[in-house]
């Protein structure tokens, strides 16, 4: 069960290999994701995150190194097989809504994979329930909020019952409310099904929820580890243009001011919790 | 103004007509367009008008709403009516004011052509008002199915149509946003001589095009990731089901054509 579901081995990719002045978007990258893990991939804009996502499902092929997914080597032949086991959600909620209504959109991947009609109806219901959008079957995209559209996109990815869900900055264009909706959906999904998730983000608060964080910088892997260990290198992160979650920055400032907080609280809620217990224990 | 227009608009409902199979409705309208040309005298045109009003009634669309929404069409209709009235000669001279002569034949033709126009516009409007664009697309895809043999890319055309329909509101929103952004920068599209106005549209179109291309690229990626590779081996989520009532509606139309044929002179 705990096998590796996806692995990169010394992968290098350049968009224009003929042009020597273009630096590789991803260079000499190795990592792997185990079944059931939640991994966050963070990095500043242009650090190669989306390129990695595209290498994962064969939208791009590396010039060097190998990509393995679902136990198969990525190739023209294994491509569709791999894609059918991998769901992917992108940044812009409007640009990935293919169907005319919510249910059409969720069914799109099922249609493409030749799933029989009766089975489709069941799966569309089921996946919309998982993202709590089952009441919106016949809604058209322009009547939905950004967060709702992203949840539909997640349902569309789940409909094929993938083993891995990749979210490429799926929350970055949403308002705080929409962002919370989507993150909450992922959390609940993980609790209910143990789905393997790779979330690409530059929101460290979102990354804090993951089991493991990979930090990318200029196409290379800079750090890798649990959220605690990655966040403890806060100077390095700031240098790369990544801001620590508000609660952690706050805790740091409080410590400087002499308030003995642990600095382990990663969300505002946890910090408030810590602060009031600190005061009531004093 | 735009809100009142009913071309291509869909009004959800549960009338008999709403529940017909889109294929039946499309075939019906196409046959009807041909049948309209059978009418050639007062009785047949009256029957034609009666049949159309019956269809409007069955679709539960309010006649007032239909007439109100089709105002621009009536202007066109009035224009053709007067054209015939003034320029068709034959029969008795009815009125003669100055150099305008109105003949009996001119009046007849004017009325007939107007009725023909009216029933065609009403029938096609009933189709689009009672059938969602996506159902029309589905209907067309299935009806054109046989042409796949002669290499007509039917599935691709249908997909193109449904994606275009899906993106119309998105692009409308975007146009509104860009318009406001340009207005905030002092661009003035609403007034000035025509030449200036056309010039002012360019800074609106360019960002719109750029974003449309970006959207197209994103959409293509999203489709590929979800396993899209053409119509081959695809199943359909939307099922059309042809029921007895659909066959009956087409039979009714054939009967109606027979009736017109019988009374035509
Ligand atoms: N289609 C492309 N053609 C050429 N260069 C690209 C393309 N897409 C991305 N790049 C370049 O590759 C690098 C990594 O981009 P990307 O993977 O999109 O980063 P991120 O998702 O982390 O913001 C950037 O320098 C970017 O300019
Ligand atoms: Mg990106």
Q: What is the ipTM of this complex?
A: 0.87
Pocket of ligand 1 (CB under 6 A): A 15, 25, 43, 45-51
End-to-end CA distance of chain A: 47
Decide which of A75 and B5 is more confident: A75
Min Cα–Cα distance to chain A from B36, Å: 34
- At A42 the three-state DSSP class reads strand
Answer yes or no: is A260 within a domain. no
Cβ pair B134:A88 closer than 8 A: no
Interfacial residues of A (vs B; Cβ cutoff 8 Å):
57, 59, 80, 83-84, 86, 88, 90, 92, 94-101, 103-104, 107-117, 120-121, 124, 140-142, 156-157, 160
Question: Which residue reads 């590779």 in tokens?
Answer: B229
Answer yes or no: is B56 within a domain. yes
The domain that holds A96 is classified in CATH as 3.40.50.300
Q: Band of the pLDDT at A241, cuts 50, 70, 90? A: confident
Does the pLDDT of residue A1 top 50, yes or no? no
Cβ pair A114:B228 closer than 8 A: no
pLDDT tens digits, A199-218 = 999 888 889 999 999 999 99
Q: What is the mean pLDDT of residues A69-92?
A: 94
Determine the distance separating the centroid of ligand 1 and the alpha carbon of A26, expressed in angstroms: 9
Question: Which of B226, B235, B239 is most worth mutating to test chain A (most A CB atoms within 10 A of its CB)?
Answer: B226
Contacts with A214 (C-beta within 8 Å, 6 or more apart), sequence order: A31, A39, A40, A41, A42, A221, A223, A224
Closest Cα to atom 27 of ligand 1: A46
Which atom of ligand 1 is the closest one to the Cα of A169?
A: 21
Answer yes or no: is B26 within a domain. yes
Answer yes or no: is B104 within a domain. yes
Q: Does residue B24 contact residue B250 with C-beta atoms inside 8 Å?
A: yes
Decide which of A51 and B1 is more confident: A51
| Domain range for B9 | 2-131+239-263
Residue B12 contacts A, CB cutoff 8 Å: no
Min Cα–Cα distance to chain B from A242, Å: 26
Answer yes or no: is A145 within a domain. yes
**Contact residues on chain A for B235, CB-CB shorter than 8 A:** 110-111, 114-117, 120
Q: What is the mean pLDDT of residues A115-125?
A: 96
CB pairs A-B closer than 8 Å? 93
Q: What is the mean pLDDT of residues A183-207?
A: 92
The pLDDT value recorded for residue A2 is 56
Answer yes or no: is A274 within a domain. no
E strand map for A92-202: 164-168, 196-201
Share above pLDDT 90 across residues of chain A, in percent, rounded to a whole number = 70
Structural domain count, chain A: 1
Range of lowest pLDDT (A8-17, A219-228, B98-107): B98-107
Structural domain count, chain B: 1
Answer yes or no: is B101 within a domain. yes
Answer yes or no: is B17 within a domain. yes
Q: Band of the pLDDT at A282, cuts 50, 70, 90? A: low
The pLDDT value recorded for residue B1 is 41
Determine the distance separating the centroid of ligand 1 and the alpha carbon of B223, expressed in angstroms: 20
Does the pLDDT of residue A239 top 90, yes or no? no
Answer yes or no: is B94 within a domain. yes
Share above pLDDT 70 across residues of chain A, in percent, rounded to a whole number = 98
Alpha helix ranges (H) inside chain B: 16-19, 22-35, 42-58, 63-69, 71-87, 104-130, 133-144, 154-184, 194-225, 244-263
Q: Model-level pTM? A: 0.84
| Domain range for A134 | 4-227
The pLDDT value recorded for residue B46 is 95
- Going residue by residue through chain B, which has 265 residues, state the pLDDT in tens, using 9 for 90 and above: 445 567 668 888 899 999 999 999 999 999 999 999 999 999 999 999 999 999 999 999 998 888 888 888 889 899 999 988 888 888 888 888 877 888 888 899 999 999 999 999 999 999 999 998 889 999 999 999 999 999 999 999 999 988 988 898 888 889 889 888 888 888 777 777 888 888 878 888 899 999 999 999 999 999 999 999 888 889 999 999 999 999 999 999 999 999 999 999 8
E strand map for chain A: 4-13, 26-34, 38-43, 64-69, 72-73, 86-89, 164-168, 196-201, 212-217, 220-225
Question: Which residue reads 């964080």 in tokens?
Answer: A213
């Amino acid at each position: 069960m705990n096998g590796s579901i996806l692995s990169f081995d010394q992968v290098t990719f350049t968009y224009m290999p003929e042009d020597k002045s273009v630096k590789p978007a991803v260079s000499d990258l190795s990592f792997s994701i185990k079944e059931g893990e939640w991994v966050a991939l963070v990095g500043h804009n242009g650090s190669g995150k989306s390129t990695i996502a595209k290498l994962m499902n064969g939208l791009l092929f590396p010039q060097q190194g190998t990509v393995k997914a679902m136990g198969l080597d990525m190739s023209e032949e294994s491509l569709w097989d791999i894609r059918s086991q991998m769901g992917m959600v992108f940044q812009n909620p409007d640009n990935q809504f293919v169907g005319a209504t919510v249910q059409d959109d969720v069914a799109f991947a099922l249609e493409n994979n030749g799933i029989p009609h009766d089975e489709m109806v069941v799966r569309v219901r089921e996946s919309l329930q998982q993202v709590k959008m089952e009441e919106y079957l016949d809604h058209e995209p322009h009547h939905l909020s950004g967060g709702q559209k992203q949840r539909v996109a997640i349902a569309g990815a789940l409909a094929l019952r993938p083993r891995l869900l990749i979210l490429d900055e799926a929350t970055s264009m949403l308002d705080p409310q929409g962002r919370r909706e989507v993150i909450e959906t992922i959390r609940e999904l993980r609790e209910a099904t143990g789905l393997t998730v790779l979330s690409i983000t530059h929101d460290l608060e979102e990354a804090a929820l993951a089991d493991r964080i990979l930090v990318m910088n200029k196409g290379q892997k800079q750090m890798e580890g649990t959220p605690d260990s990655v966040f403890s290198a806060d100077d390095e992160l700031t240098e790369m243009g990544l801001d620590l979650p508000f609660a952690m920055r706050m805790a740091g400032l409080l410590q400087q001011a002499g308030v003995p907080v642990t600095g382990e609280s990663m969300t505002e809620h946890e910090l408030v919790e810590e602060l009031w217990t600190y005061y009531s224990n004093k | 103004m735009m809100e009142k227009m009913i071309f291509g608009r869909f009004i959800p409902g549960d009338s008999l007509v709403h529940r017909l199979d889109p294929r039946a409705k499309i075939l019906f309208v196409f046959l009807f367009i041909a049948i309209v040309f059978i009418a050639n005298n007062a009785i047949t045109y009256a029957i034609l008008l009666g049949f159309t009003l019956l269809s409007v009634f069955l679709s539960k669309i309010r006649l007032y709403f239909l007439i109100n929404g089709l105002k621009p069409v009536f202007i066109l209709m009035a224009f053709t009516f007067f054209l015939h009235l003034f320029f068709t000669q034959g029969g008795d001279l009815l009125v003669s004011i100055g150099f305008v002569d109105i003949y009996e034949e001119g009046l007849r033709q004017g009325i007939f052509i107007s009725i023909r126009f009216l029933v065609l516009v009403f029938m096609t409007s009933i189709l689009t008002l009672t059938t969602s664009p996506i159902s029309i697309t589905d209907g067309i895809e299935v009806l054109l199915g046989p042409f796949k043999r002669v290499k007509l890319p039917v599935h691709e055309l249908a997909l193109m149509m449904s994606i275009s329909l899906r993106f119309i509101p998105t692009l409308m929103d975007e146009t509104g946003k860009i318009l406001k952004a340009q207005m905030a920068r002092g661009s003035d599209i609403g007034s000035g001589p025509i030449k200036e106005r056309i010039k002012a549209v360019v800074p609106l179109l360019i960002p719109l095009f750029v974003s449309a291309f970006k959207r197209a690229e994103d959409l293509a990626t999203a489709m590929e990731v979800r396993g899209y590779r053409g119509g081959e081996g695809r199943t359909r989520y939307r099922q059309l089901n042809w029921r007895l009532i659909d066959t009956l509606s087409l039979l009714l139309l054939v009967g109606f054509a027979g009736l017109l044929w019988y009374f035509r002179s």
